[in-house]
Amino acid sequence: MNPNPDTERVIIFDTTLRDGEQSPGASMNLDEKLEIARALEQLGVDVIEAGFPIASPGDFAAVEAVAKASKRARICGLARSLPKDIDAAAKAVAPAGDRGRIHVFLATSAIHRQFKLNKAKDEIVKQAREAVAYAHSLCADVEFSPEDASRTEPEFLAEVVQAVIEAGAGTVNIPDTVGYAYPDDFAKLIEYLNAHVPNINDAVISVHCHNDLGLAVANSLAAVRAGARQIECTINGLGERAGNCALEEVVMAMRVRKDQFGHLQTGVISEHLYRTSRLVQSVTGLPLQRNKAIVGDNAFAHESGIHQHGVIKNPETYEIMTPQSVGVPTNNMVLGKHSGKAALVGHLTTLGFEMSEEHTERIMHAFKELADRKKEIYDGDLIALYEAVVRGRTISQWTMSYLHSAAGTSAVATATVRLEKDGEVHTDAATGHGPVDAVINCIDRICGVEGKVEDYRLRAVSHGRDALGEVSLRVQFTGARSAIGGKGLSTDIIEASAIAYLDAVNRLSFEQDRLQGAGEP
């Protein structure tokens, strides 16, 4: 990685597994983090920030596992400017060898110095310098972030940046931690650092922008035009509060608007963007708005007659990029109940999925079951089926073996559910304001939880009356710190709703176990 800011390569630093997981309800288990890490490597990201090793034993194990499994990307662990944090990060990324990176941070803004750290400027510089030097003694690749840099006095920020580069930081990240920056001002800050830090060319200047004002992508792009050469971002823009810079948006903006970015380019394989987005959505259970740029369901949909006519004549009349360029499936009908294993595997491979022998047997069984329900199976169905069956939801303490519901305009909605856990079968019945509410009440009674559905979304993943229905929901359980997401897939929307709610219940159990393992109350 050439630290010279004139290089044509813009490094993509993905923090979905760290900052993205801090989005409320987005906790992932180890297997899910590994699956996303593999997808990020296939996508072509340069750096994967796999977690915050000191935060908990689970975080440490996840970073270490990603470091062991990685083949190409640099694997990064976050650390405060404290020896114990740095030790944990160094140990966790060690399996990645010379591709390991320690990311050290320390707040620098006046408000953080006064109210969070209670430290003077000279103390901040000293601690930052010593932390970077110590990290560099353990790991050759060190990144430093002056937290809340966009609200730090430029002169002091330049002093800190110069000090940490002297101490061994090969990358210096300039975070807009609270999403306060404005593109013109943020670009001027990067230009100021380039002009006032004597050793600035000895490091890559990075940016990490939050989306509190909806400007994360705009700020990141403005910084790149001003000389930054690393963008920190997440799939689907996940992250704390309003989220982070969305990887898919910033990458495609640079690709489509080459007139603004000259020869600058990333190493991201854009054709993998859609399926990586869907994978992250499925793992986290956080729904993606239909009008989300690049990867939303409506991103390439044209309802207006004038638009449709123009697109038929020439797609460029209303499309500045093709669906194929980001990997959006065409939804052509491809398979049916008489299709064989070779056809199924071949088409899934064409869609970009890796198929092991074990995967083939599992998905073939599920495909035949689906084919009995659906006459026509589309690409969207196959992608959803792969995510649900092959990758699987690995958080599965409770499983559902039976569901029956009844409802009508003049009848009380009822549901009977049979769940299994640890070899024991539990059956109960309940009523509700509708069939979905009755099913949820029944699951609550069996599992001993009490949840309030705060968000419920249903979408068809393909065409036709028999399309697979995908339910995404968020549930606030009594006693839980934040709402938890769940997802379910079925041709029956009541069954899909039950699967999604049970997924959230299982995630609640997983989160409680994780916190207990970390020693948290």
**β-pair partners for 83:** none
> What fold, for 11-284?
TIM Barrel (3.20.20)
**Cβ(398)–Cβ(420) below 8 Å:** yes
Structure tokens at 172: 């210096």
| Torsion angle of C-alpha atoms 20, 21, 22, 24, degrees rounded to 10 | 100
Q: Where are the chain's structural domains?
A: 11-284, 329-391, 399-517
Calpha distance 443→450 (Å, rounded): 9
Domain 399-517: give its CATH superfamily.
Alpha-isopropylmalate synthase LeuA, regulatory domain (3.30.160.270)
Express each pLDDT in 166-186 by its tens digit: 999 999 999 999 999 999 999
Express each pLDDT in 90-102 by its tens digit: 999 999 999 999 9
Same fold: 11-284 with 399-517:
no
pLDDT lower than 70: segments of the chain: 1-6, 24-25, 301-319, 330-334, 352, 390-396, 513-521
Residue 309 is predicted with a pLDDT of 44
Calpha distance 121→127 (Å, rounded): 10
What is the pTM assigned to this prediction?
Answer: 0.82
Q: 107 in helix, strand or coil?
A: strand
**Cβ(131)–Cβ(104) below 8 Å:** yes
Express each pLDDT in 18-48 by its tens digit: 998 887 667 788 888 998 999 999 999 999 9
Residue 303 is predicted with a pLDDT of 41
Express each pLDDT in 456-512 by its tens digit: 988 887 777 778 888 888 899 999 877 888 888 888 999 999 999 998 898 888 777
